[in-house]
Chains A and B, each alone.
Chain A
Amino acid sequence: MKTIAEFMTADHKACDHKFADAEVAALDGNWSEAGIAFNAFNDNMLRHFVTEEDLLFPALISAGGPSGPVQMMRMEHDQIRELLSQMTAAVSAKNTQHYSGLSETILMVMQQHNHKEENILYPIMDQILAQQREALMGRLLTV
């Protein structure tokens, strides 16, 4: 069975791929394709955040996990959500230049954030939530 770290890291990668597809299409000026890829990226990201904020973070806190880092991750989610909403506006306006700048920015924020989760927070979850992992993984697949 996969660990939480493996499962969530694979989800990060899937989001990265959608991100790249959207960026390539947007910078090519192919807005119909960019719109589809961006929506997929946006949906994946928001679903990923819901998984963490509604399921994994509360489970970690109630099992006695650290609340400070969780708070920090929530704050970074808010930053990324804000960038996503600005990108949605850039897609609607078909503004390549603005999209390209936001895309560069969100990538850096997202990668830093993912790095911290993959290397620090998820391993903590696998450790602290070891006993409930099976049940949690079942619920992860349904979000």
Chain B
Amino acid sequence: MQIASLSTEQAPPISVPLRYFAAAPVFLIFSALLLALSGSNPFADLRSGAQIAATHHITLGVMAMVMLGAIQQMLPVVIGSPMPASRIVAWLTFLPLIAGVLLFSASFMLGKMFMLDWAWTLLGLSFLIFIAASLLSLWRATAQNATKTAIFLSIISLAGAVSLGLLLAHGYAAGLPLSYPLLATAHISLALGGWVLLLIIGVSYQVVPMFQLTPNYPKWMTSALAPALFIVLLLKLGLLPFETMPSWSGFFVECLFWLLACSFAVITLKLQSQRRRRVPDAPLSFFRLGMASLLLAAIFSLAALIWPQYSDNLRTLSALAYILGFALSLIQGMLYKIVPFLIWFHLFRGGIKAIKAGVPNMKEIIPEPLMWRHLWLQCATLLTALMAPWSTEVAYLTMLGLLLQGILLAYAIYIGIRVYRHTLKRLMQA
């Protein structure tokens, strides 16, 4: 039993998670600008250079950035085991990640592929340190729960996705004769199907019942879903190199993956509909939008299997629903819960003196109307994204939506940090 883990002193300093959360919206803004610079409609071809650069700004600059901050904050509470050397890990992951993403996109936008070698070295360093530190933390934890298993499998998938990503990047830089489409498929499957989905599942097991007072996830789901998804992913990877395998095997594995993903979305939506806490809550609506988008992504991918003649378009829609709808909605919704709580928590730790001097409550840290406006903006962006592949004008609306979302999120986090600084100053003077 990890007794020491009850200590709040194990929570990292507020600057550790906040630096990642403050940087993430800047990358969302950059992703919109990169898409706008592409010259043509980047949503018509998801493999264009500008689209690859912009997608990685979202997956690495926003999604991985928030994950790095959130995991360091979450592990002490959820599994009772903090990250080792949190400040050092923070600097050694944060700066190389930023520099790596910027170099990655620069190499695609400028057509200077040799820069990919610099990019992958920095990204590799950042992820190597993060993966090693989180695995050490998981290994030290004695608490056994479904979240721990899901996070572990998510980190393993991340390690696989990163390794393949580094290989692809080096291959492009050095002009190596690799099987690029096959490696890219494996890289995307591990990143989106493994890392992102398993992490969201593990976190949801904790936060869905906690934030909305819903019943717990059913036992069969918490014990079986994450391992089953991981096995299905491994099966998918195992089948990839064998072009001679009967096509029904790939069909079967992909159906199984989406059915498992749908079961998670359906159960989550059902639990949320049974919540005791029946009050309007913007982060909850972000969460539900995310789950609906996951179902939509599944429908598009399953339709692509049934109607292969429309496969390209349907898979593009699935990817857009998955990244912009599912992942981005959940991440932004979670930030609107985590950031105000972290700020409140660190201010309230001041004890009696802080309490007497007055600490703003969570809704006085980031104003609620701003979160609701952001939610509607996210809905509109998603709707336009699903039409963007067929219209350049609509594609510009999607870029505008992403740009405005980045600005709004950056502003919300800035307001939070400003409240923190002002209150801290007031507490010092009190």
Q: How many residues of B sit at the interface, in one of the four size bands?
A: 20 to 34
Question: Cβ of A115 and Cβ of B8 under 8 Å apart?
Answer: no
Other-chain residue from A17, A27, A105, A116 in contact with B6 (beta carbon distance below 8 A): A116
Question: Cβ of A72 and Cβ of B7 under 8 Å apart?
Answer: yes
B308-364 CB contacts (< 8 Å) to partner A: 337, 341, 344-345, 348, 355, 360-364
Question: Cβ of B363 and Cβ of A111 under 8 Å apart?
Answer: no
* A104-117 interface code vs B (CB 8 A; 1 in, 0 out): 11011101100110
Question: Cβ of B278 and Cβ of A108 under 8 Å apart?
Answer: no
* A61-95 interface code vs B (CB 8 A; 1 in, 0 out): 00000101100110010010010000000000000
Question: Cβ of B77 and Cβ of A112 under 8 Å apart?
Answer: yes
Question: Cβ of A69 and Cβ of B3 under 8 Å apart?
Answer: yes
CB distance from A116 to the nearest CB of B (A): 5
CB-defined contacts of B145 to chain A, threshold 8 Å: 119
Instruction: Name which residue of chain A comes closest to B8, CB basis.
Output: A72
Other-chain residue from A23, A82, A124 in contact with B277 (beta carbon distance below 8 A): A23
Question: Cβ of A68 and Cβ of B7 under 8 Å apart?
Answer: yes
CB-defined contacts of B278 to chain A, threshold 8 Å: 20, 24
Q: For the complex, is A56 an interface residue (Cβ under 8 Å from B)?
A: no
Question: Cβ of B276 and Cβ of A20 under 8 Å apart?
Answer: yes
Q: For the complex, is B4 an interface residue (Cβ under 8 Å from A)?
A: yes
CB-defined contacts of B206 to chain A, threshold 8 Å: 115
Q: For the complex, is B5 an interface residue (Cβ under 8 Å from A)?
A: yes
CB distance from B4 to the nearest CB of A (A): 7
With A and B bound together, what is the CA distance between A109 and B277 in angstroms?
16
Question: Cβ of B6 and Cβ of A73 under 8 Å apart?
Answer: yes
Other-chain residue from A68, A79, A97, A98 in contact with B3 (beta carbon distance below 8 A): A68
Q: For the complex, is A120 an interface residue (Cβ under 8 Å from B)?
A: yes
Question: Cβ of B6 and Cβ of A120 under 8 Å apart?
Answer: yes
The A interface, classified by DSSP as helix, strand, loop or mixed, is: helix
* A47-62 interface code vs B (CB 8 A; 1 in, 0 out): 0000000000000000
Q: For the complex, is B91 an interface residue (Cβ under 8 Å from A)?
A: no
CB distance from A24 to the nearest CB of B (A): 5
CB distance from B160 to the nearest CB of A (A): 30
Other-chain residue from A72, A115, A119 in contact with B210 (beta carbon distance below 8 A): A115
With A and B bound together, what is the CA distance between A16 and B277 in angstroms?
9
Q: Known: A24-B278, A68-B3, A121-B6. Is A100-B363 also a contact (CB below 8 A)?
A: yes
CB-defined contacts of A68 to chain B, threshold 8 Å: 3-4, 6-7
CB-defined contacts of B303 to chain A, threshold 8 Å: none
Instruction: Name which residue of chain A comes closest to B278, CB basis.
Output: A24
Question: Cβ of B362 and Cβ of A101 under 8 Å apart?
Answer: yes
Q: For the complex, is A102 an interface residue (Cβ under 8 Å from B)?
A: yes
CB distance from A44 to the nearest CB of B (A): 14
CB distance from A117 to the nearest CB of B (A): 9
* B51-75 interface code vs A (CB 8 A; 1 in, 0 out): 0000000000000000000000000
Q: For the complex, is A123 an interface residue (Cβ under 8 Å from B)?
A: yes
Question: Cβ of A102 and Cβ of B3 under 8 Å apart?
Answer: no
Question: Cβ of A101 and Cβ of B276 under 8 Å apart?
Answer: no
Other-chain residue from B6, B277, B362 in contact with A72 (beta carbon distance below 8 A): B6
With A and B bound together, what is the CA distance between A102 and B363 in angstroms?
8
CB distance from B428 to the nearest CB of A (A): 20
Q: For the complex, is A127 an interface residue (Cβ under 8 Å from B)?
A: yes
Question: Cβ of B279 and Cβ of A27 under 8 Å apart?
Answer: yes
Q: Known: A16-B213, A101-B362. Is A119-B3 also a contact (CB below 8 A)?
A: no
In order of increasing CB-CB distance, the 8 nearest A-B pairs are A101-B363, A101-B361, A69-B6, A20-B276, A111-B210, A105-B362, A105-B361, A66-B3
